[in-house]
Amino acid sequence: MDERYYKIKKLVQELGAKKGRHTELVTVYIPQGYNIHEIVNQLRDEQSTAENIKSKSTRKNVVTALERIIRRLQLYTKTPENGLAVFCGNVSEREGWPDIELWTVEPPEPINVKMYWCDQRFRVEPLKDMVREKEIYGLICLDKNEADIALLKGKKIVPLVHMDSIIPGKTRAGGQSSARFSRIREALKNDFLKRVGEAASKAFEGNNDLKGILVGGTGGLKEEFIKGDYLNYQIRDKVLGTVDTAYTGEFGLQEMIERGEDLIKEASIYKEKKILERFFSELRKQKPLATYGIEQTMKVLSMGAADTILLSEATDIVELIDENGNSKFVYENKIDDEKYVKKIPLIDVIDEKAAQFGTKVEIISRDTREGEQFYELGGIGTLLRYEIE
């Protein structure tokens, strides 16, 4: 995953979990090309309106949030290329103890909606839509006994439809002529393939993010399915090819992905698998060009020895800085020390240092076996440029 999208995905999760005690959370979306000074004037009008809020504390918190947003917007001479999203409000969990925080987002894709919203929750839907998985492939795995239809979303298989077949085996029942049995079998097979085609067309139709479709399975039935007129023509045009598998069902879908690398070699699952295979292969060497763990990673990064940092998207490590400037890295769910003045997400710490040395950063999911193994290893590792002592 692109680290820009990773950061927004994490922020969307964070903001989505915030809940105001009252309607004190302000959301502002400014579309690309929109005059930021006009937005400031509109927010000034909203401040005047907010002065009519009956609750004194709510009124104060909303007015303060709007003032902070206005001050932040005044730092911009114009709206950023893709627009701007600003979130501000009282996120304190204690009544009467305000904690007004502000977040500003310059998104990687254009914002097309203009919004001002004041509620108990932040409106994150436009950003959430940006970070949804857009690298999607359709999977159809079938043989004479069953068929499965699924989506490959990034690195994750999402089952959609399973259906069983009633196609009889090639051995006919006693008393039936060979020709009659063959006709019955052919009709049942045609009916099954027709049902599979209709189900697949319905499942994939309208999915604008669908990049292609793989058809796999045992035997030659998949080729008959492709050659026949079973899929909607718009869906049929997206078929990339067929994949031979030893199984159907769940194992067959997984096998399709592993054997269909040449057909969807640009899919992120293969990029992720290959970089993790290289990482684990290096770790097994006597003099590995790889290391793992937060301390080792930050050490080699500061030395300029890191070629690529691997970071699990599920890792919640943060840097805590106390009032004396001392820092330490901890897992966010294990923070038990309140004597810190700053908390920085690990990705931000890495980004700043990586930019100094031209180090690449790869975000790793947990949707593959390798990704899960990497997460269990600590969720952070490095591929090195050269050997270190």
Per-residue pLDDT reduced to its tens digit, 7-58: 888 889 889 999 988 899 999 999 988 999 999 999 999 999 999 999 999 9
Q: Rounded CA gap, 38 and 239, in Å?
A: 49
Categorize the per-residue pLDDT at 170 as very low, low, confident or very high, splitting at 50, 70 and 90.
Answer: low
Chain centre to alpha carbon of residue 208? 17
Does residue 69 surpass a pLDDT of 90? yes
Answer yes or no: are the C-beta atoms of 342 and 320 closer than 8 Å: yes
25 vs 83: CA distance, rounded Å: 20
Q: Could you tell me which residues are beta bridge partners of residue 310?
A: 362, 381
Q: What is the pTM of this model?
A: 0.66
**Mean pLDDT of the region 155-184:** 79
* For residue 171, pLDDT beyond 80: no
Domains of the chain: 3-130 (3.30.960.10), 136-266 (3.30.420.60), 271-384 (3.30.1330.30)
Average the pLDDT over 216-244 and give the result.
91
